[in-house]
Structure formats: C-alpha cells, structure tokens
Chains A and B, each alone.
Chain A
C-alpha cells in the first residue's frame, strides 16, 4: 500500500481566511513533504519533516505554517494568503529520511484557489 491521502481535494479561500490542509499516510514512512505546483511547472519543495521534526524550510513565506502532530499526519496551516498562492499543494512521504535511495510517494493533492 503506497497511499497518501490529502484533504480537502479543493479549497477556495479569501485573503483574510485561515484554513488548513491535511495529509495522512499509514505506510510507516518517517519523512513527509509539502510541495507547491503551479500549472505546467514542476513541483517545488516547501517543507520536509523527518521523524516529526522540521528538517527543511525552503524560505517559504510565514503565511504558510507546517505542523507534524505525529508520524502519520502532516498539516499545512494557511493564513492571509495572496492570489499568487493559488496552486496544487502536494503532500509526499518517503520511508528512509536522508537516504540516497529514498522514494517519494505523492498524495492526490489539494487544489487551492485564493480570491
């Protein structure tokens, strides 16, 4: 089973709203990732959690706030977003954090529209 789930599938929010994206995996993976993907562009890494600790923050604006409550869950809290933040937000997980052979498996994504 290589399933990563994400909720919601779609989200429309205003620039003053606060919302959260959720990601869950039950594969025992110890690394989880948030990516942002704009249309016709490759995924861009935002954050990496390894063993529930934040390992990488790719200079993401503070209006995006990640949280890893436990080894199976990953959240992305959104506040005061801008229209240019509209994108597909992808969660991924991998089994062996930091391994040269780590393989990432993606969830279905949350399509976010900021009005």
Chain B
C-alpha cells in the first residue's frame, strides 16, 4: 500500500525561528509533491508544490525534494504565531490519486 509518513508532532518553535517539517513516501514513481496548511475546522490550503529534486522557495517557505531518498520537507523561516496549523504533505501517485500524510501539528510560540 502506498503511504505518506509524517511526524504527527506537535512541533513547537518560538516566534522568529525556522520550522522544519518532514515527509517520506513509499511510491518511488511519484512525481509531484505538495504541502497544504490546514487550520482547525478549515479546509486544506495549498502552500507549495514541487516536482524536481532540490529546493523551491516562495517567500518564507522553502520546499525540498530528494527523490532518491523519497523525502520531501518544508522549511518555514521567521515563523509567526499565524503559522500555527497542521501541515499536510501530499504526494501524487498518478491516476488522479493524491495520497495525504496524517499531518504535522505546528505551534509557534509568541
């Protein structure tokens, strides 16, 4: 069974620090990877997507992909209390299917 694994947390970081969120996936043929942010009681909001090995930066967010290690991460620089949420790693395994990890809860302390 194809899986996406995340540490459930909670991950607690002080305001202004870097938050590092990690995700591993089992399907070596996966080609596209996504990070969604989900506030309690709300729907997932797309933060980043990445298709190629390496880093992709967008503002305070950097996604990192290593297909050889089947590993994708999200770095949040200058973390703010408003970043406190659950972050879902999602992997497109083809055939319209995207598998979601269980999510990592992030708390940013003011």
Contacts and interface: CB of A to CB of B under 8 A. Distances in A.
Main SS at interface, chain B? strand
Interface string B74-110: 0000000000000010101011111011110000000
A1 to B, nearest CB: 14
A64 interface: no
A17 interface: no
A101 B31 contact: yes
B97 A102 contact: no
B51 A106 contact: no
A103 B102 contact: no
A90 B38 CA distance: 12
A66 interface: no
Contacts of A43: 44, 88, 100
Nearest to B105: A40
A107 B31 CA distance: 24
B96 A98 contact: yes
Interface residues of A, number: 26
Interface string A23-54: 00000000101000000011101001010000
Question: Which of under 10, 10 to 19, 20 to 34, or 35 or more describes the interface residues of B?
Answer: 20 to 34
A102 B92 contact: yes
A90 B90 CA distance: 15
A108 B42 contact: yes
Contact of B101 (A42, A48, A105, A109): A42
Contacts of A111: 41
Interface in B1-60: 31-32, 34, 36, 41-46, 49, 51
Interface of B: 31-32, 34, 36, 41-46, 49, 51, 88, 90, 92, 94-98, 100-103
Interface of A: 2, 31, 33, 41-43, 45, 48, 50, 55-56, 88, 90, 97-98, 100-109, 111
Given A43-B44, A43-B100, 19 more contacts: A41-B102, A42-B100, A45-B97, A45-B98, A48-B97, A55-B96, A56-B95, A88-B43, A98-B95, A98-B96, A100-B92, A100-B94, A101-B31, A101-B92, A103-B32, A103-B49, A104-B46, A105-B46, A108-B42
